[in-house]
Amino acid sequence: MRVLLALGGNAMTNADGRARPEDQIEAARVAMAAVADLLQHDVDVVVTHGNGPQVGNLLVKNELAAAVVPPVPLDWCGAQTQATLGFVLMDALDAELGRRGIDRRTATVVTRTVVDADDPGFARPTKPIGRFLSAEEAALLVEHGETWEDRGAKGWRRVVASPEPLRIVDAPAAQALVDAGFVVIANGGGGIPVVAEPDGSLHGVEAVIDKDLGAALLAGSVDADVLVIGTDVPHAVLHYGTPEARDVGVVTVAEMRAYAADGHFASGSMGPKVEAACRFVEQGGARAVITDLAHLADAVTGASGTVVVPN
Ligand SMILES: Nc1ncnc2c1ncn2[C@@H]1O[C@H](COP(=O)(O)OP(=O)(O)O)[C@@H](O)[C@H]1O
Ligand SMILES: NC(=O)OP(=O)(O)O
């Protein structure tokens, strides 16, 4: 069985979301121990990951240092997060594999993902990145032209353009490495967004792709049987945050789409995970599971988490 595991921002840093290096290294250790468990049970794993906290932090560093160091655009920041997180995840996984005597090599693929230059997402920022601020702090940055959004209890967060991922340019490289036996990390942060010119050339654009939607696309490209979306909750929940809250267990894609249409899953958090799970199953995937890392081993067999299956 081949599993595409998408690690959310929550699985990549600690609860305060500040993304200090030591927090990211510790989160990677926990996540890669879960991956090693699967490898030990003969499950083939391809990993992708979010980059929201990290890419937002890099963007701020660029902006603060602009007077002395030439700033780089958001797509460059995205590429930098793929490299850094790939390196941290490979270090963690290599250490875990070494401890268990598992003879597997790891590789990270810098991955570009094509988007449409006319995607409506460029006109309407929706992707939350970086740290959370208070309403007063966010208001100052809005005055400087940034877009910030109230994200509830944790505070306000900057939002940037997030176009639909259409095609993963470097999927064949990821696939070749998978076929050669590598544990591959690819399409981090949903992929570096690029647009294709009529002559076929590509250039980066300033946006951050949703990593769950990117994961659904990657899963098809690397022939994954199962998509597992790893986050900080064991299930998607109906009537979330209310006394009527109810976990979703095994559910058909039609039922899940109906729940989504009824507004059960928040945009920018559970909403894209549910959309990605539905897309993967509609594309022919056996099942897509939304759960936390503690339930990963049972999730791949469909015995735990929210399990979306064909109709
Ligand atoms: N209906 C829902 N069921 C479960 N969680 C939900 C729901 N709606 C919103 N959420 C929130 O979605 C969060 C997971 O999404 P997100 O924070 O974007 O995860 P990640 O960073 O792991 O990708 C949960 O911590 C929860 O607070
Ligand atoms: N790119 C992306 O979706 O990152 P997060 O999962 O960290 O928000």
Q: Which residues of 48-69 are buried (b: 16+ CB within 10 A; e: fewer)?
A: bbbbbbbbbbbbeebeeeeeee
- Which 8-state DSSP code applies to residue 163? P
Interface ipTM above 0.85: yes
Tell me the ligand closest to 270's alpha carbon: 1
Q: How many CA atoms lie within 13 A of 222 on its CB side?
A: 39
Determine which helix (DSSP H) or strand (DSSP E) holds 47, and give its type and residue range.
strand 44-49
CA 270–ligand 1 middle distance (angstroms): 4
| Strands 287-292 and 226-231, sheet pairing | parallel
Q: How many CB atoms lie within 10 A of CB 11?
A: 21
Instruction: Quote the Cα angle for 96-221-253, to 5°.
Output: 95
CA–CA dist 77, 264 (Å, integer): 33
State the DSSP H helix or E strand holding residue 173, giving kind and residue range, or none if neither.
helix 171-179
Per-residue pLDDT at 18? 77
pLDDT confidence band for 14 (50 / 70 / 90): confident
Residues 264-277 pLDDT 10s: 999 888 999 999 99
- 67-82 pLDDT, tens digit each: 999 999 999 999 999 9
Out of 244, 256, 262, 270, mutate this one to test ligand 1's pocket (max ligand atoms within 8 Å of CB): namely: 270
Kindly give the number of the ligand 1 atom that is closest to the alpha carbon of 269. Answer: 18
CA distance 186 to 56: 20
For 24-36, how does the pLDDT look when each residue is reduced to its tens digit (9 = 90+)? Answer: 999 999 999 999 9
Per-residue model confidence as pLDDT tens digits over 80-139: 999 999 999 999 999 999 999 999 999 999 999 999 999 999 999 999 999 999 999 999
Residues with CB under 6 A from ligand 1: 8-11, 50, 231-233, 236-237, 240, 264-266, 269-270
pTM above 0.90, yes or no: yes
Write down the pLDDT at residue 19.
85
C-alpha span between 266 and 309 (Å, rounded): 21
